[in-house]
Amino acid sequence: MNIEFFLQNIELDTKVKAKIIERVNRLKKYNAKIFLAKLDLSFNPAHNKKEIVRLEAFLRLPKKDLYASIRAGTLSEAVDRITTKLRRQLRELKDWKEEKRKKTRQMIRRKKEAGIEF
């Protein structure tokens, strides 16, 4: 998975960047087909103290794009909350695909039982 960073008013050292990459790479266990992750990170001290860090994440999958945005007080809190949102979206996508497959199998079984050829 390629991970692209867009930073505004903030610089990340290698240790913090490696931690963020590790957290984003954990999402591959929910969908191994993720091939691009774009992270837009900005720091604005003029905002409310609980919202000085803004993190937007964009995941590209085949035939589907996922997006999540979060504002938080610290970078680690933002990363935790954004990965939680993306994990939830990936689970919903997986559940939706499994439900669609299940309905297709049921329809095929009914047609075979009725003697309809397709």
pLDDT at 71: 94
Class of domain 2-114: alpha beta
Domain ranges of the chain: 2-114
Q: What is the pTM of this model?
A: 0.81
Spatial distance between the Cα atoms of 65 and 17, rounded to a whole number of angstroms = 23
Question: Which two tokens mark 76?
Answer: 């680690």
Tell me the one-letter amino acid at 107: M
Q: Are strands 64-72 and 53-61 parallel, antiparallel or unpaired?
A: antiparallel
> pLDDT tens across 13-40, in order?
999 999 999 999 999 998 889 999 999 9
pLDDT at 80: 94
